[in-house]
Amino acid sequence: MIVVGADPGKHGGLAWVESLPRGLCVSHACNLPLTVRGDLDLEALLGELERRPAHLAVLELAHAYPRMGAAGAFRYGSGYGALLCAFAARRYELGIEHVTGDKWHGDLFDLARRRKGTAPARGERGERDRADKLEGREAAKARAAELVAALWPELELPRRKDRREGVVDALCLAVWGHEHGGGYYAELARGSRGGGAMC
């Protein structure tokens, strides 16, 4: 199964992750294509989605942040809408899954902790959820980057921090799609499969 993960936003990302017998394989990861003005390039986006097949699309639910200005919130929402329309036009076999940032962060990091033997079982996340809210956005971004580095140590990511975060989030969303689909990552957490690889 191939899952495409998408992080909306000015420096968002797209990532195609395939489950293979040897592990999760990154077939492609990039930042969202932008026009010269900095808007999402819909023609380039549709071309990218056309060239790279997938069975399921996972899109992070967009919402404004407390310190986000009106222009930033509008741009973020516009990017989300454009991605949603582009995914809908592709008619993915397994559809489009929407997930909040809090949800995918919590699910993936619970799995990573259970794999190491340091996490509570499903349903016992209350204390961790409260602690994560206190840690904030930067700690969650750092943990996402650690997860991607653990799965794909040889993967080259963009150098600029804002662009790198978009690709990292897209990769994590694709991994979440595999777990949500009942597939690869659940077995990885149990230790029955290897780590990730590049295609």
Tell me, rounded to whole angstroms, the distance of Cα 106 from its chain centroid. Answer: 13
- Can you tell me the mean pLDDT for 105-132? 61
DSSP state of 39: S
Work out how many domains the chain is built from and give that number. Answer: 1
Q: Which residue has the higher pLDDT, 120 or 143?
A: 143
DSSP string, 54-104: -SEEEEEPP---TT--HHHHHHHHHHHHHHHHHHHHHT-TT-EEEE-HHHH
Domain that holds residue 15: 2-198
Return the SS3 of 197.
Answer: strand
How many Å is the maximal CA-CA distance in the chain?
A: 48
CATH code at 24? 3.30.420.10
Q: How many CB atoms lie within 10 A of CB 87?
A: 22
pLDDT digits (tens, 9 = 90+) for 48-95: 999 999 999 999 987 766 777 777 777 778 888 889 999 998 888 888
pLDDT digits (tens, 9 = 90+) for 133-187: 546 777 888 888 988 998 899 999 988 888 899 999 999 999 999 887 644 444 4
What pLDDT, on the 0 to 100 scale, is given for residue 80? 87
Characterise 12 by phi-psi region: left (phi > 0), alpha (psi -120 to 50), beta (else).
beta
What pLDDT, on the 0 to 100 scale, is given for residue 189? 43
In this prediction, residue 196 has a pLDDT band, given cuts at 50, 70 and 90, of low
Query: Would you say the C-alpha torsion 117, 122, 123, 128 has a positive or negative sign?
Result: positive
What pLDDT, on the 0 to 100 scale, is given for residue 86? 92
Tokens matching residue 84: 């949603």
What pLDDT, on the 0 to 100 scale, is given for residue 58? 94
